[in-house]
Structure 1
Amino acid sequence: MRTLYILYKKELKHFLTTPFGWIVLAFIMLLQGFSLTSVLEQYEKAPVQVNLLFSTLSTPIFWFYFIFIFPLITMKQFAEEERSGTLESLMTAPVTTWQVVFSKYLSSYTFYLVLWLPILLHLQIFSWVTGTPAPVVNAEIFGAFGILMLIGSFFIAVGILASALTSSQIIAAIITFGALVFLIFMGLIPSIAGDSFQGAVLFHYISVHEHLSYFSRGLVDLRPIVFYLSMATFTLLLTHHIVDYRRWKH
């Protein structure tokens, strides 16, 4: 555990002590503000039935930065070290493959969670400016953050896997982006084709949009929890085997 903690701390420093991490945080915080502002403008024009958080997590601005978060924070993890040659040195050190993979995954996942903290600040600013509490309840806040954590656990694993497949950051980012767009699109198929075909239940099961809708209303469904955690575990297992193969190959 001590070795894992040391590796995790080292990887996390790359996000929190370099300009890259702070630029990404500032960029995401800005877009989250724009997303909330656009929703409040819609509320001003006409009454909206869905709650504030789900509306914020459904805007085109949200989907734009949400999809790009994962390639940004995972593309360097293995690809950069492979390109620079430091990965080979790390693999010959007295550490296990699991410790290397999991430290990179946990550091990326921790930084991903940090990126969502500004939403709480935005809700507080709303209260300060208007003098009234933001129109959300605790169950909706916990549900929204819970599903974002679950989705991130799988999507970060996909990015780590893509980074382990290549020595090019750009290729790793493209693979991650393409895989996530494909996954999100698969969940939209019932909305496009209807529910009359066989297999529609499966597409509902993996629908990111439906999961966001359900959890952001303060409702909890065990099926998405099982789906994201099992897929994250499976993807990390694949990453472990790939990195382990490269380790012993060298």
Structure 2
Amino acid sequence: MRPTLSLLKREFTAYFLSPIAYVILTVFLLVVGHLFFLTTTLLTERGPRGIEDPMAGLLGDERFWLVFLFIPPLLTMRSFAEERSSGTLEMLMTAPIRDWQVVFAKFMACLGFYVLLWLPTIVFLPVLTDATPEVKPIFNPFSGMLLMGIFLLAVWLLSSLLLSANVKPIGLLWLVLLVGVGLTTAGAILHYRSPGEKMLLFRSAIDPMPVLSSYLAVFLAGAMFLSLGLFVSSLVRSQLVAAIVSLVLSLLFVVTGFWRPDLDPSSTTAKLLEFFSVPMHFSQEFTRGLIDTRRIVLYVSVTFFCLFLTVRSLESRRWR
């Protein structure tokens, strides 16, 4: 387990040493911020210019899908292609770590950076849901469990970031993490399911379900495209080739974000296009608060299948 965590940490840290990551972060936040501004403007409009689903204005725009299309290929193009071209992949293959652990570490690293891209957009949520927080100093055994769990998680995070590897008590940190997660989860469930007033409540004038379903879809769709890019990167030596091939394959799932042909909805072609079209899933379902399990199964299945192919690609290299 330790080699996997070390590789994951190395891969995740490498993103912050690359200028491409900062370019992706800047462009993404600028585009999403601009779309958020347009969405809030439309929310205050009346008549035909107004919108009912704020997330549809944010995630249904062509500019969003244009930027989204480039993110996974650019994040994954260096994962294996760079190591293959520099000759370090052979060293990695001879290390005491399994192929699936290598793939898992690289996938979790790029997925972690992808999630990091979306974290700043959390500040949009109070506006998109018209939510107002209510904080009350209410303390009981359940709220105490919740606060203690949050405190332990903060201790674990600070210790993991500040302590060097030589003095870091790995076993103790794992214990603190597990206890913190347990107390936080149990405290939150018991506190908010028990009768009486709560420490923190968000009252929303707009249904928050479209926001929750949209963020779930963003995470799962992102994982699917990242796994696809990871597989392509394991096949080629050039980062540029990996990015282009991954971009072309990803375009098959996103093409309706830019071009929507006039087809008979009952035709087989239209049904296939709808099934594989991620932008249509967002505009017709997720941004409206609807969660279709067929879409979830598609995203998860493609993700695991691409990761499986990536592992097989590495295993085949051992026998060449």
Pick the TM interval, shorter chain. 0.7 to 0.9
Q: Is the counterpart of residue 14 in structure 1 residue 14 in structure 2?
A: yes
Q: Is the counterpart of residue 229 in structure 1 residue 300 in structure 2?
A: yes
- What amino acid maps onto 2:299 in structure 1? Y
Whole-angstrom distance in 2 between the partners of 1:43 and 1:141 = 15
Three-state SS of the structure 2 residue aligned to 1:99 is helix
- What amino acid maps onto 2:305 in structure 1? F
In structure 1, the partner of 2:183 is none
Instruction: After TM superposition, give the deviation of residue 199 of structure 1 in Å.
Output: 4.8
In structure 1, the partner of 2:271 is 201
In structure 1, the partner of 2:286 is 215
Q: Is the counterpart of residue 139 in structure 1 residue 209 in structure 2?
A: yes
In structure 1, the partner of 2:99 is 97
Whether the aligned pair in 1 keeps the contact of 2:263 and 2:270 (CA below 8 Å) is no
Three-state SS of the structure 1 residue aligned to 2:96 is coil
Whole-angstrom distance in 2 between the partners of 1:57 and 1:137 = 17
- What amino acid maps onto 1:238 in structure 2? L
Whether the aligned pair in 2 keeps the contact of 1:8 and 1:104 (CA below 8 Å) is yes
Instruction: After TM superposition, give the deviation of residue 203 of structure 1 in Å.
Output: 2.7
Relative to 1, partners in 2 of residues 1:126 and 1:226: Cα closer, same or farther, differing over 3 Å? Answer: closer
In structure 2, the partner of 1:3 is 3
Report Cα offsets for 1:184-216 as digits up to 9, x if no partner.
237999853222323533332222123213122
- What amino acid maps onto 2:209 in structure 1? A
Whether the aligned pair in 1 keeps the contact of 2:69 and 2:254 (CA below 8 Å) is no
In structure 1, the partner of 2:316 is 245
Whole-angstrom distance in 1 between the partners of 2:208 and 2:70 = 28
Q: How many residues align?
A: 245
Instruction: After TM superposition, give the deviation of residue 143 of structure 1 in Å.
Output: 0.6
Three-state SS of the structure 2 residue aligned to 1:193 is coil
- What amino acid maps onto 1:227 in structure 2? L
Gaps of 5+ in 1: none
Equivalences for residues 145-184 of structure 1 within 5 A: 145-184=215-254
Three-state SS of the structure 2 residue aligned to 1:192 is coil
Whole-angstrom distance in 1 between the partners of 2:275 and 2:205 = 29
- What amino acid maps onto 1:217 in structure 2? R
Relative to 1, partners in 2 of residues 1:138 and 1:11: Cα closer, same or farther, differing over 3 Å? Answer: same
- What amino acid maps onto 2:310 in structure 1? T
Whole-angstrom distance in 1 between the partners of 2:127 and 2:275 = 36
Relative to 1, partners in 2 of residues 1:64 and 1:187: Cα closer, same or farther, differing over 3 Å? Answer: closer
Whole-angstrom distance in 1 between the partners of 2:319 and 2:42 = 57
Q: Which of the pair has more CA radius of gyration?
A: 2
Select 1:54's aligned residue among 53, 56, 62.
56
In structure 2, the partner of 1:23 is 23
In structure 1, the partner of 2:74 is 72
Relative to 1, partners in 2 of residues 1:243 and 1:186: Cα closer, same or farther, differing over 3 Å? Answer: farther
Gaps of 5+ in 2: 131-202
Relative to 1, partners in 2 of residues 1:164 and 1:52: Cα closer, same or farther, differing over 3 Å? Answer: same
Instruction: After TM superposition, give the deviation of residue 37 of structure 1 in Å.
Output: 2.1
- What amino acid maps onto 2:302 in structure 1? M
211-220 or 45-54, which deviates more: 45-54
Whether the aligned pair in 1 keeps the contact of 2:42 and 2:51 (CA below 8 Å) is no
Report Cα offsets for 1:88-113 as digits up to 9, x if no partner.
11111111111111111111111111
What is the Cα-based RMSD across aligned positions, in Å? 2.6
Whether the aligned pair in 2 keeps the contact of 1:34 and 1:61 (CA below 8 Å) is no
TM-score, normalised with respect to structure 2: 0.69
More helix by share: 1
Whole-angstrom distance in 2 between the partners of 1:177 and 1:196 = 29
Whole-angstrom distance in 1 between the partners of 2:28 and 2:238 = 24
- What amino acid maps onto 1:193 in structure 2? L
In structure 1, the partner of 2:111 is 109
Identity of aligned residues (%): 33
Whole-angstrom distance in 2 between the partners of 1:223 and 1:32 = 27
Whole-angstrom distance in 1 between the partners of 2:68 and 2:88 = 30
Instruction: After TM superposition, give the deviation of residue 28 of structure 1 in Å.
Output: 1.1
Whether the aligned pair in 2 keeps the contact of 1:11 and 1:104 (CA below 8 Å) is yes
